[in-house]
Structure 1
Amino acid sequence: MIDIESVTKIYTPKNPPAVDNLEFSIKDGEILGLVGLNGAGKTTTIRMTSGIILPTSGRIMVDGYDIVQDKVKAAANVGWIPELPNFEPNATPLQLMNYFAGFYNLKGKEAEERIMSLLEQVGLKEHLHKKLRSYSQGMKKRFSIAESIIGDPQNVMFDETLNGLDPEGVLFVRNLMMKLKKRGKAILLSSHILSEIQDMADRVVIIDHGKLIKTIKRSEMKTLGKTVVHVTVENFNADCKKILAKYGDVETKDNESMIRDLKIPETDLPSIPDELVKSGYRIVRFDPVGESLEEYFFNLIGGMK
Structure 2
Amino acid sequence: MIKVMNISKRYGKLIALQDVSFTVNDGEVMGYVGLNGAGKTTTMEIIAGVTEPTSGDVEIEGHSVTKEKKEAVRNLGWVPELPIFEQDVKALDYFVYLAGFYGISKDEAKKKAEELFSALGLSGREKDKLKNYSQGMKKRFALAASMISDPKNFLFDEVLNGLDPEGIAFFRDLAIKLKKEGKAVLFSSHVLSELENIADRIVFIHKGRIIKEMTMEEIRKSASANAFRITLEKVDNEVMDIAKKYGNPKLQGNTIIIEGFNGDVAGLSSALSKYNIVDMGRVGSNLEEIFFKLIGERQ
Same fold by TM (over 0.5)? yes
Alpha-carbon distance between aligned partners in 2 of 1:131 and 1:285, rounded to the nearest angstrom: 45
Alpha-carbon distance between aligned partners in 1 of 2:169 and 2:110, rounded to the nearest angstrom: 27
Change (3 A) 1:298 1:130: same
Alpha-carbon distance between aligned partners in 2 of 1:162 and 1:125, rounded to the nearest angstrom: 21
Change (3 A) 1:108 1:96: closer
Alpha-carbon distance between aligned partners in 2 of 1:133 and 1:55, rounded to the nearest angstrom: 32
Aligned to 1:208: 206
Aligned to 1:56: 54
Query: Residue type matched to 2:290 in 1?
Result: Y
Residues 7 and 53, structure 2, Cα contact 8 Å, conserved in 1: yes
Once the 2 structures are TM-superposed, how far is the Cα of residue 59 of structure 1 from its aligned partner?
1.7
Query: Residue type matched to 2:64 in 1?
Result: D
Aligned to 1:261: none
Change (3 A) 1:285 1:149: closer
Alpha-carbon distance between aligned partners in 2 of 1:151 and 1:285, rounded to the nearest angstrom: 41
Matched, 1:138 2:136: yes
Matched, 1:299 2:297: no
Change (3 A) 1:133 1:220: same
Residues 101 and 150, structure 1, Cα contact 8 Å, conserved in 2: yes
1:75 paired residue among 73, 76, 88: 73
Matched, 1:192 2:190: yes
Residues 77 and 147, structure 2, Cα contact 8 Å, conserved in 1: yes
Matched, 1:148 2:146: yes
Matched, 1:84 2:78: no
Once the 2 structures are TM-superposed, how far is the Cα of residue 299 of structure 1 from its aligned partner?
1.4
Alpha-carbon distance between aligned partners in 1 of 2:16 and 2:290, rounded to the nearest angstrom: 24
CA deviation map 1:201-244 (0-9, x unaligned): 0110001011111111122131234x3587xxxxxxxxxxxxxx
Matched, 1:125 2:119: no
Identity of aligned residues (%): 46
Query: Residue type matched to 2:134 in 1?
Result: S
Structure 1 stretch 80-89 or stretch 106-115: which is displaced more?
Answer: 106-115
Once the 2 structures are TM-superposed, how far is the Cα of residue 103 of structure 1 from its aligned partner?
1.2
Change (3 A) 1:187 1:228: closer
CA deviation map 1:236-256 (0-9, x unaligned): xxxxxxxxxxxxxxxxxxx9x
TM-score, L = length of structure 1 = 0.78
Alpha-carbon distance between aligned partners in 2 of 1:181 and 1:224, rounded to the nearest angstrom: 25
Alpha-carbon distance between aligned partners in 1 of 2:258 and 2:185, rounded to the nearest angstrom: 35
Query: Residue type matched to 1:296 in 2?
Result: I
Aligned to 1:104: 102
Structure 2: state its 5+ residue gaps.
228-251, 262-282
Change (3 A) 1:94 1:219: same
Pairs aligned (count): 250
Once the 2 structures are TM-superposed, how far is the Cα of residue 89 of structure 1 from its aligned partner?
1.3
1:173 paired residue among 171, 174, 194: 171
Once the 2 structures are TM-superposed, how far is the Cα of residue 173 of structure 1 from its aligned partner?
1.1
1:34 paired residue among 10, 32, 35: 32
Q: Which has the larger radius of gyration?
A: 1
Once the 2 structures are TM-superposed, how far is the Cα of residue 108 of structure 1 from its aligned partner?
4.2
Alpha-carbon distance between aligned partners in 1 of 2:121 and 2:106, rounded to the nearest angstrom: 23
Query: Residue type matched to 2:89 in 1?
Result: A
Aligned to 1:271: none
Alpha-carbon distance between aligned partners in 1 of 2:99 and 2:206, rounded to the nearest angstrom: 37
Matched, 1:9 2:9: yes
Alpha-carbon distance between aligned partners in 2 of 1:4 and 1:181, rounded to the nearest angstrom: 19
Once the 2 structures are TM-superposed, how far is the Cα of residue 287 of structure 1 from its aligned partner?
4.9
Residues 224 and 291, structure 1, Cα contact 8 Å, conserved in 2: no
Query: Residue type matched to 1:3 in 2?
Result: K
Name the SS for the 1:152 alignment partner.
coil
Once the 2 structures are TM-superposed, how far is the Cα of residue 290 of structure 1 from its aligned partner?
8.8
CA deviation map 1:48-72 (0-9, x unaligned): 0000011111121111111111011
Alpha-carbon distance between aligned partners in 1 of 2:219 and 2:284, rounded to the nearest angstrom: 7
